[in-house]
Amino acid sequence: MVMPVPRSPRAGRAAIEGPGFLALADLQVLFDLLREDGRRLIGPTVADGSIVYDDISSVDQLPRGMGDEQSPGRYRLRRRGDERLFGYVVGPTAWKKWTFPSVIPLTRSTHDGHKVTFEPEQAIAPKLAFLGARACELAALAVQDRVLIGTEFIDPDYMVRRANVFVVSVQCTTSASTCFCTSMGTGPEVTEGFDLSLTELDGGFLVDAGTPAGRAVLERLPLRAATAAEQYGVAATVAAVRARIGDPVPTNGIHDRLLAQLDHPRWAQVAERCITCGNCTLACPTCFCTTLTQTTDMTGDTAVASRSWDSCFSPGFAKVAGGSFRARPRDRYRQWLTHKFATWWDQFGTSGCVGCGRCITWCPVGIDVRDELNAIAPPVPLSPESRLVEPVAATPNDFVTARVINTKAETADTTTLTLTGGDPAFSHGSTGQFAMVSLPGFPPLPISISRFLPDGIEIGRASCRERV
């Protein structure tokens, strides 16, 4: 029997404005509410010398006072010297263990002596609650959503499992030397992809909801209004984490830079170290490669076809009739790296990497993907000419109002406009530059700059007369 969770006399979410504060002593109430809703609670706990995600039911199972030290090929737990429950970064377990399990039975065939029948295996998707998902991990779930259910090719097993997940995120208040979520635009701030978010402070948590399902749970929690000092402390803590991580991988143009270096000698150098074990793909929260296996019972009357995780580092992964088209370790490493940071964009419109750093920490030979990217595809320095025109000084990335002082019909459908009144930076530039031009109520259009003037520019475009 499930007993009802006792209500605290303190105010619930409906009675306060802004984020609420949940006392540490009341965190178990959240656990009990999620279990009362019929969910298995998956969260962080200590096992085998690391912090892993597993079934938990009590706050006492959380890694109280534990942190982690991570570097290429190295992971160690350490005592923090405080009682924080989420004072670690990420461990070897990714949430895909539950949304995209390592082995899934697909079909079952039976032979009764006369005929063979085939039946699909039904997905068993328990209601789950993920506790402690970080910003990079929420981004990884979004990547797998896009890959597995965001195109015309839908994985029905993943779709059912993912729909049954309630996500409780935790803001990062610490970082490891292997983190590079800042480079990938995935953290450390939690901004979306959660039902409830927690930020740990001394004595409790700031709590907010991201979905109607999260709000329904939050309104049942014993909360008080968070103070301005608590909210400022949260923002300052996460900002400090961002500053510590920095920007280890300049990603601007990484797609083209990487694909332009397919014959770089560094591929051979990294292959001398890589043992193609596949640890990076197993620990990665976004990798989705699989293979199909068939097993039979002892009598041969029943056979099950199962899908299981595979890795592009496996020698047999690229084996086809006539041999393997990625027989060398350098070819397999190149496939993995270029797919993550380049061709994943071509397939799914996003990067395949979220900067969690697991592939660095759990590589047994300590290969650091950040070093490889910076060595193989370093940022291209800008030429002096390309620095002539800076972003609009007063309002970077925003539009400024310009005045049309002259129009000149060049052909029946092309007009040149003379604009003035913009930022002085527009008075000089180089060949090939263009301006984004917009009218109220119309989307912006890229229009080439045909001439730079002392106090403005000239632009020309087909059908410009009709649009302006």
Residue 96 binned pLDDT confidence (cut-offs 50, 70, 90): very high
Residue 1 binned pLDDT confidence (cut-offs 50, 70, 90): very low
Q: What is the pLDDT of residue 371?
A: 96
Residue 415 binned pLDDT confidence (cut-offs 50, 70, 90): confident
Is 7's pLDDT higher than 60? no
Is 135's pLDDT higher than 70? yes
- Asked if 355 contacts 178 with a C-beta cutoff of 8 angstroms, the reply is no
Please indicate whether residue 329 or residue 431 has the higher confidence score (pLDDT).
Answer: 329
Is 434's pLDDT higher than 80? no
Residue 445 binned pLDDT confidence (cut-offs 50, 70, 90): confident
Is 130's pLDDT higher than 50? yes
Q: Tell whether the torsion through CA atoms of 179, 185, 188 and 191 is positive or negative.
A: negative
Alpha helices by DSSP H, listed for 150-294, are 156-163, 181-184, 212-218, 228-245, 254-259, 266-273, 279-283
Take residue 270 and report the two structure tokens written for it. 């990294």
Give the Cα separation of 56 and 169 in Å (integer): 16
- The least confident of 73-87, 282-296, 409-423, 429-443 is 429-443
Q: Please, what is the average pLDDT of the chain? A: 87
The dihedrals phi and psi of 375, each to the nearest 5 degrees, come to: -80, -40
* Residue whose tokens read 């350490």: 78
Please indicate whether residue 332 or residue 116 has the higher confidence score (pLDDT).
Answer: 332
Is 224's pLDDT higher than 90? yes
Q: What is the pLDDT of residue 432?
A: 66
pLDDT digits (tens, 9 = 90+) for 301-313: 899 999 999 999 9
Give the Cα separation of 14 and 218 in Å (integer): 9
Where are the strands (E) in 40-79, listed by range? Answer: 40-47, 50-55, 66-71, 74-79
Is 210's pLDDT higher than 50? yes
Residue of 416, 20, 406 whose CA lies nearest to 199: 20
Q: What is the pLDDT of residue 144?
A: 97
What percent of the chain stands above pLDDT 90?
A: 66
Take residue 443 and report the two structure tokens written for it. 């989307």
Is 338's pLDDT higher than 90? yes
Other CB atoms within a 10 A radius of the CB of residue 249 amount to: 21
DSSP 15: G
- φ/ψ bin of 2: left (φ > 0), alpha (ψ from -120 to 50), beta (otherwise): beta
Q: Tell whether the torsion through CA atoms of 183, 186, 187 and 189 is positive or negative.
A: positive
pLDDT digits (tens, 9 = 90+) for 155-178: 999 999 999 999 999 999 999 999
**pTM of the predicted model, to two decimals?**
0.77
- Asked if 91 contacts 50 with a C-beta cutoff of 8 angstroms, the reply is yes
Is 395's pLDDT higher than 70? no
Residue 467 binned pLDDT confidence (cut-offs 50, 70, 90): very low
Most confident stretch, 87-96, 374-383, 391-400: 87-96
- Asked if 238 contacts 170 with a C-beta cutoff of 8 angstroms, the reply is no
Q: What is the pLDDT of residue 322?
A: 84
pLDDT digits (tens, 9 = 90+) for 40-90: 999 999 999 999 999 999 999 999 999 999 999 999 999 999 999 999 999
Is 382's pLDDT higher than 60? no
Q: What is the pLDDT of residue 425?
A: 62
Residue 464 binned pLDDT confidence (cut-offs 50, 70, 90): very low
Q: What is the pLDDT of residue 387?
A: 47
Give the Cα separation of 98 and 125 in Å (integer): 9
Residue 422 binned pLDDT confidence (cut-offs 50, 70, 90): low
